[in-house]
Amino acid sequence: MSNLQAKEYKAFEAIKHIADDGSEFWYARELAILLEYVQWRNFAKVLDRAKLACKNSGYRAIDHFAEVSKIVEAGATSKPLIDFKLTRYACYLIVQNGDPRKEVIALGQTYFAIQTRRQEVADYFNQLDNEEYAAFQNAGYMGLYGGMKVEDIHQKKGLKEKDKILDFMSSTELIANLFRISQTEEKLKKDLASTADDANEIHFIVGREVRGTIERVGGTMPEDIPTPNKSISDVEREQLKKLKKRPNKLMLDE
């Protein structure tokens, strides 16, 4: 992580609040400032898009975007000011719908994606140690990659130990893996997996089913798909630089 990333990540942590019940939340107006939205009306448009995305994902917006009213001083008088208490998921949707030309937006996308994913993992596997989680991760890959484990895939792709497998995939391979992950999460919820062995078995079965589907339609097996020369992170950084250099503005909020 670069010094800039570390600084921005700390900034997102700095404006996080903890409720009486121990849950964390962010205030929309504080997040707007951090995301470099000078005018609230422009950030409000991003809020609206994020709420719609929340609703379209099957969640109640009110559960993630709780409207609150604050009293602020305006000269000799005071007036109520509308704000929102945001969950981590709400913040994630906001940065996903923000202006990609802003570097802080890109960093926010990474921060909240990582934090959201960590929480999802913790919700299911907060009793697992590193060794048990590694076994769970391997189970999914073995199902999808015909028995190949994480270290086998690293070797096949010619990756370094610190490289993330998901970061070095073509769009086709990435989609297959994201489908594996999402369907595993759904099945874990539905089947109420209570042990590490149950979770491992579910992950392996889902991976195997996704592999079977690819085989039935005549697709290329994941392990045979060429590894891109550049990681997804590298491509994202390059695209962000190109956007910043464009002379004409995109049709996005400032």
pTM exceeds cut of 0.85? no
Q: Could you report the per-residue pLDDT of 119-141, keeping only the tens digit for each?
A: 555 555 555 567 777 888 899 99
Q: Could you report the per-residue pLDDT of 211-247, keeping only the tens digit for each?
A: 999 999 999 999 999 988 777 666 656 655 655 565 5
Alpha carbon distance 136, 134 (integer Å): 5
Alpha carbon distance 43, 252 (integer Å): 11
